Amino acid sequence: MSGGSYRSWVSWEWPPRRGDDWSLASLALRFVVSAIGILLADQWVRGVSVGDWQALLVATAIFAIVHTFVRPVLLWVTCPLQVLTLGLFTLLLNAAMLALAAWAAGQLEVDFSVDGFWAAFLGALLISITGMVLTGLARRREASP
C-alpha cells in the first residue's frame, strides 16, 4: 500500500471520509432522486409497476437498502468481471438490484414489481441516468454563488 493505510483503499468505512456527504439533507436528496427514478421507470418502462405513492415510498426505501448493503458486496465479488467488461457488468448488477428490490417488496406485499430481465435492465438504466442528472444538477446548484 503506497503510503496509505488500510482504511484509505477500503470502499466503505465509518465514519465517512471527508469527501462523502452523509448529512440528512444529502440522504433525503438521494431518496427523492431514487423515488423520481422509480416513478419514471414505472411510467416509461413496460414491466416496471408501482401501485400508488405509498408503494413508491416503500419501494424506494427497499431499493435504497439493497443499494447500500448488497450492491457493494456484489461489486467487490464481481471485480474481475468488472475489469474484463470495462465496467459494463455494473449494468447487469444494477438490473439485479432492481429485481431484488422488487422481489423483497413482493415478500412484504408492496405493490411494486419488475417483470423480466429487460424490464429490470431498462428500469435500472433509467433510474441510474435520472440519478446522475438530478444529482449533478443539485451539486451544480449548490456550487453556484
Confidence of residue 139 (pLDDT cuts 50, 70, 90): confident
Contact of 41 with 123, CB cutoff 8 Å: yes
Strand ranges in 28-73 using DSSP code E only, listed in sequence order: 48-50
Per-residue confidence at 98, pLDDT binned at 50, 70, 90? very high
How many whole angstroms separate alpha carbon 41 and alpha carbon 38? 5
Arithmetic mean of pLDDT, 30-39: 94
Indicate if the pLDDT at residue 79 is higher than 50.
yes
Query: Is the per-residue pLDDT at 73 higher than 50?
Result: yes
